[in-house]
Structure 1
């Protein structure tokens, strides 16, 4: 049975709000195993973590809940690495199962959530499906129904509106793959949220506009997809200024981590900043568990390089794969991906 999470919990899962420690352990930075790329090894580890080979779950107060958002992150990672296509097929089949789908995107009447709808529509398109018919639900039409006259996409919910830069960016990226393309007002609204320093905030219309690495990385990709190159360029310049000397990027807590770095690296590669992308990839490689690690953990990417934490490793690994490959959401495709979950070639 699918249990519905609260809207606050869904937002936390969607935005990937994670606790932070300090980067301390360089021992993960083992040489890339011969025959298997880092991204392939990471995606292979991720595939082996799927519950019943189809989904991720999150445990809250001792109860396991389905985590559709993280499962879709894995679908993106498998496509980016070009492996585990069978796992991607099963994962998307699970998310699009009517009960699981509706618990995630809403019923479309009283409840309809922008971020979840857009993310699922994008995942369906990445895997070559039709987002206008997902088990009889037209995700594209539903997404369009959530756009306000200002261009902002907002939730329709009795629990309130939790839309943010992530949901707006994913909506633009999903609609970019449709025949109608991106509504000009949607891109204009996102561009208008830019902070004075050039970056983009997670939440718009705050008393102080604070640029956020994750939000900027998504906004840059969405704006480039929408043809707003100049607006994306300011975000890219801010990302370059925010990159640490170790190549990593920090979250709001100031911790260099795989999640923020993975998304930023993806945006840098997509935005033709190869040197900065290479530095970010080096940072991510330093967080990957190599042959010196526990066999069950090899290939995983740790959140921050401290003691390996399985509770945060799945999301960290999924987003790190995007950065390791540099495959942007706008062009991501599962076409040609192979089946199977690669393992590092260790002695």
Structure 2
């Protein structure tokens, strides 16, 4: 097992479409020896999950049929999950998300209410799909994000929503690190990364919520407990920072925490660890953690996570109502059993879609899983 930055997938670098299996040219002895090696083919499980997710789109977006509304945030999750497995569908989602009216509605208006996490996430999508984040849907997303970062007092580097309410959290902070790194905004990216590192708890995990804006201490406190999903996303963000020793050290500690939290079967419990007496494992958290472990070169642990996730995936032999849902990944065993009896009902669609979008990250990160 190794830890390092080599082989980071398209999720963290510009040019994902070129890296996702689009090698081109010949593959024999006449191939250009100076050309970079093509990415390993995604596993059949990852391809099946991608195919199912593609079938959940309406004009490039995930539409919540229960409330008849397009879920732009979930659509971005789908595109990020598919970037290395099905770049054509990922690009189609990107086109739909970056349609000017759709994008403006998602990130908000700085003069009324603007959302830092959404802005950062949209910017990460742009760089992942090899788009110019400074001109997406008529918006300069990095510039928008810069205006949503605190520059004063103990909250320097913290992302902040503009408007009457502030819903910003540590998950949005992780996307902000990636967005500003991708845009080449060095100084501000350093501040945003440093504030993210402050959210790390003593045991290495990351909490999910910030301190009160006026609190003198903006770091993880004794009353805070780490969150699996946030910790995994923090690892992804921090591993993408070149020549940042504090980020590297924080990522190493977070990885140690994740490894300690992984079940013997490869799974991870979701939510805030310690908030429940016996938190149950789920494919959403295991997918995010599996991706982080793979990025860090923890191949054995990542493979175990991917195999556990695949155990909750609907396969070609699925009986009854799930026979039409091949590739979908259930949140947990209860959800899989319920689906076997009644299929994926409209009220359950959201959970299946969110879970599969996160689970495919682990499946795609381990090609042979």
Sort the TM-score into its range (normalised by shorter chain): 0.7 to 0.9
Matched residues in 1 for 2:306 and 2:67: separation? 36
SS of 1:99 mapped into structure 2: helix
Alignment of 1:1-80 (within 5 A): 37-52=44-59, 54-59=60-65, 63-80=67-84
Task: List runs of 5+ in structure 1 lacking aligned partners.
Answer: 1-34, 328-347
* Higher relative contact order, chain-length normalized (CA < 8 Å, sep 6+): 1
Deviates most, 222-231 or 165-174 = 222-231
1:229 has 2:248 as partner: yes
Counterpart residue number, 1:331: none
Q: Normalized against structure 1, the TM-score is what?
A: 0.79
Residue 319 (1) aligns with residue 334 (2) = no
* Correspondence for 1:215 among 230, 250, 253: 230
1:305 maps to 2:333: yes
Residue 128 (structure 1) aligned with residue 101 (structure 2): no
Specify which of 175, 178, 191 is matched with residue 170 of structure 1.
175
What residue in structure 1 maps to residue 312 of structure 2?
A: 287
Contact 1:262/1:322 (CA < 8 Å) preserved in 2?
yes
Task: Deviation per CA, 1:38-91: give whole Å up to 9, x if none.
Answer: 101100110011124x111225xx53111001101111122121x2x3322322
Give CA deviations for 1:128-150 in whole Å, capped at 9, x if unaligned.
Answer: 10010012210010111111121
The superposition leaves residues 13-33 of structure 1 with CA deviations (integer Å, 9 ceiling, x where unpaired) of: xxxxxxxxxxxxxxxxxxxxx
- TM-score (normalised: structure 2): 0.74
> Structure 1 residue 108: deviation in Å?
2.7
Which stretches of structure 1, 4 residues or longer, exceed 3 Å deviation after superposition? Answer: none
Q: CA deviation digits over 1:79-105, x for unaligned, max 9?
A: 121x2x332232222211222112210
Shift of 1:236: 0.6
Rg: which structure is higher? 2
CA shift for structure 1 position 288: 0.8
- How far apart are the structure 2 equivalents of 1:258 and 1:108? 36
* Structure-2 residue corresponding to 1:87: 89
SS of the equivalent of 1:66 reads strand
Q: Larger deviation: 184-193 or 200-209?
A: 200-209
**Aligned counterparts of 2:111 and 2:280: Cα–Cα separation in 1:** 40
Deviations 1:206-235 (A, max 9, x none): 661110000000111112222311011111
* 1:281-303 CA distance string (max 9 Å, x none): 11111011111113321111111
- The aligned counterpart of 2:18 is none
Q: Structure 1 residue 36: deviation in Å?
A: 6.4
Alignment match of 2:106 (pick from 99, 104, 107): 104
Query: Aligned residue for 2:269?
Result: 250
Indicate if the aligned counterparts of 1:80 and 1:322 stay in contact, CA closer than 8 A.
no
CA distance in 2, matches of 1:326, 1:146: 32
- Residue by residue over 1:258-309, the C-alpha shift from the partner in whole angstroms, topping out at 9 and shown as x without a partner, is 1100100011111121111111011111011111113321111111122224
Structure 2 gaps, min length 5: 1-41, 212-220
Alignment RMSD = 1.8
Paired residues, number: 287
